[in-house]
Amino acid sequence: MGSLGGYSILVVDDEPFVATSVSEALSDAGADVVTAHDLGSALEAAMSGNVSAAILDVTLGGADTSAVCSALKSRHVPFMFLSGYDTHDLLREWASVPALAKPAGEAELVAKVEALLSSADASR
């Protein structure tokens, strides 16, 4: 079992290549991965009781992911951004959320998710 074994991670990205590469990196680290490629499926997954953390792009098909962020926050699910945009300019209310710039390396991504989960576990 990898470092993310026992965790279910939601990956929200409308770029198939990015979603696949992120999902594979997380799966290789032992996580169960749930993917969403549009706002509706992302919101549905965020509201389910089955995710431990989430990695979100800032936009999906031109719409920002603030609603998904709010849903995750309301359920105390930690999340981070993985985006080619400057997240602080696009979603000011979420400026304190951890972020990685695309493209991120597999080791850097997994380490960031481990830190996200560790921080959330410590605050419970």
In this prediction, residue 121 has a pLDDT band, given cuts at 50, 70 and 90, of low
Q: What is the pLDDT of residue 116?
A: 87
pLDDT over 70 at 21, yes or no: yes
The percentage of the chain sitting over the pLDDT mark of 90, rounded to a whole number, equals 49
Domain residues for 34?
8-122
Dump pLDDT digits (tens) for 44-78: 999 987 899 999 988 888 888 889 999 999 999 99
Whether 2 is covered by a domain: the verdict is no
Residues 58-93: b if buried by 16+ CB within 10 A, e if exposed: bbbeeebbeebbebbeeeebbbbbbbebebeebbee
Q: Quote the CA–CA distance of 25 and 105 in Å, as a whole number.
A: 9
pLDDT over 90 at 95, yes or no: no
For the chain, the domain total comes to 1
Report the predicted TM-score, pTM, of the whole model to 2 decimal places.
Answer: 0.89
Q: Which of 92, 90, 17, 101 is nearest to 55 (CA)?
A: 101
Please give the residue that has the higher pLDDT: either 18 or 121.
18
Whether 62 is covered by a domain: the verdict is yes
Residue 12's CATH number: 3.40.50.2300
Please give the residue that has the higher pLDDT: either 80 or 97.
80
